[in-house]
Chains A and B, each alone.
Chain A
Amino acid sequence: MKTVRISIIGFGAVGQGVARSILAKREYLNKQGIDLLVVGISDSKGSEINAGGINLKSALERKKNKGTVAKGKESALDIIRDVEHDIVVEATPTNIENGEPGLSNMHAAFEAGRHVVTSNKGPLALKFNELKEAAEDNGLYFRYEATVGGAVPIFNLIHEALAGNTVIGIEGILNGTTNYILTRMAEERMPYELVLKEAQELGIAEADPTYDVEGIDSACKLVIIANSVFGRDATYRDVEVTGITKITPEALELANKNNYVVKLVCEARKDSLTVAPRLVPRRHPLAVGGTLNVASISTDLAGRITISGKGAGSSK
């Protein structure tokens, strides 16, 4: 049995989802010959450290009851630097102003010789190449599949399954919240404001929906794709972004009459990055509804390949 030690940095929806997934898959991991130990968990208030492996069940309970996992005062950086482990799961909230605290956490992990697995878009949307080089210089893995499209394996598909193909372009719907809003507006002929309120009540949209509805979240994901797939050095400021706040139910109805749906589409080409509401033919593979995400990749050899799935949620 191989012992793998990990830390979970950030214990919000994603961090807790990771803990729950490990609990649920313990038997499977053991069968694979892996004993996965979580040796450190931190949130904004403090942390728990246990070199012998944290009891995840009680850590999750404590978080639920007290609002924090903290047992001690050690910070995320203390864990990353000083607690012996192999992989840092970086799941702090996305910050697109300066990428912190994720950016420092990731750099510290690479300096300490630890692999990084992350769902945090901020640092990658700002400093993708810097982080990738830091990982490569230290001979470490940097895995960021969860930053784009949740569990939809976009990067694995392109880098592994489609290896050898030249990617010509990628179009996709990479934000479940806006897709939900547009789908409901079209189905119920309800105005934007009402559907947004409904989405907020259902927990699909955040109290401050700006990142989602103004297309910023989509733009960050698009940048990560462009950098990862086209080897660019783009930041989210290089993306031409239009959000969905001005869209009316009447516009969706006019589109529908003419066999179109309106979707917030991200489009990456070698030389252009755009996020904008677009008319999508109703039977086109990109025309997925609800909170679904979808990515359509056109390649020189394999042609066009489209994958779709749930883009958000802690278990993804």
Chain B
Amino acid sequence: MIVSMTLELKDIPGQLVLALAPISELHGNIMSVVHQHDEKTPRGTIPVQITFEIEHKVLDKLIDRLEKSGVGVARVGEERLRSTVSVILIGHIVHSDMGDTIDRIDSTGFAEVVDMSLSMPAIDKTSSSYLVINAVGEKELSIALDILREVAQKKDLLMIEPIRQNSEAT
């Protein structure tokens, strides 16, 4: 799992290493560290935002170790959905059970429809919708798109996907 934490460090030398060491000891993979030394909390500590990948079962142990070494853990959050894609669906979106379409993505556990706008010009006309799907990672996102593609085909919806991301200029 990917975790983001806000830690509070004492304003004395060596504290950052103290905070990061237990993460690597527990085989965590640090992805980002934001450390602004000139910013202080009302308690006089220095806040640090770190994001890392770690096994779920050692998370409690990690928090325990950090606190025992004098590092304050102010916030722990799971960074779940990191990949995102936008798609457009055109067709009888509402009457082909919009709830079910969204559920098919949400029920995967690794992807969610996080935004949706719908335009229904007239009762006998086809509707258009813009969906944003977030997923845990790129691989999961591509599985979610496969599912949506299949649903769209069954419900006779036209699905407009973005051009390949790697087609952006490198």
Contact = CB atoms under 8 A, between A and B. Distances in A.
Interface in A298-316: 298, 303-304
A258 B132 CA distance: 10
B170 A303 contact: yes
Contacts of A200: none
B160 A278 contact: yes
B169 interface: yes
B119 interface: yes
Interface string B95-126: 00000000000000000000001010100011
Contact of A171 (B91, B129, B130, B164): B164
A279 B161 contact: yes
B152 to A, nearest CB: 11
Contacts of A254: 88, 117, 119, 128-130
Contacts of B36: none
A280 B163 CA distance: 6
B60 to A, nearest CB: 40
B86 interface: yes
B158 interface: yes
Nearest to B131: A254
Interface in B150-167: 158, 160-164, 167
Given A251-B88, A258-B86, A286 B163 contact: yes
A250 B119 contact: yes
Nearest to B125: A248
Interface string A276-301: 11111100111000000000101000
A284 B163 contact: yes
B128 A260 contact: no
A116 to B, nearest CB: 33
A279 B128 contact: no
B135 to A, nearest CB: 17
Most buried by A among B87, B119, B127: B119
Interface residues of A, number: 30
Nearest to B157: A246
B167 A250 contact: no
Contacts of B38: none
B90 A284 contact: no
A248 B87 contact: no
A303 B169 CA distance: 8
Nearest to A247: B90
Contact of A253 (B119, B126, B170): B119
A284 B168 contact: yes
Most buried by A among B91, B130, B168: B130
Nearest to A303: B170
A258 B130 contact: yes
Nearest to A286: B163
A14 B136 CA distance: 53
B162 A280 contact: yes
Nearest to A244: B158
Interface of B: 86-88, 90-91, 117, 119, 121, 125-130, 158, 160-164, 167-170
29 contacts: A171-B163, A246-B90, A246-B158, A248-B119, A250-B121, A251-B88, A251-B160, A253-B119, A254-B117, A254-B129, A254-B130, A255-B130, A258-B130, A260-B86, A267-B163, A276-B160, A277-B160, A279-B88, A279-B161, A279-B163, A281-B168, A284-B168, A285-B169, A286-B167, A296-B167, A298-B167, A298-B170, A304-B167, A304-B169
Given A171-B167, A304-B169, 17 more contacts: A171-B163, A171-B164, A246-B126, A247-B158, A248-B119, A248-B128, A250-B121, A250-B127, A250-B128, A254-B130, A258-B86, A276-B160, A278-B160, A279-B162, A279-B163, A281-B168, A303-B169
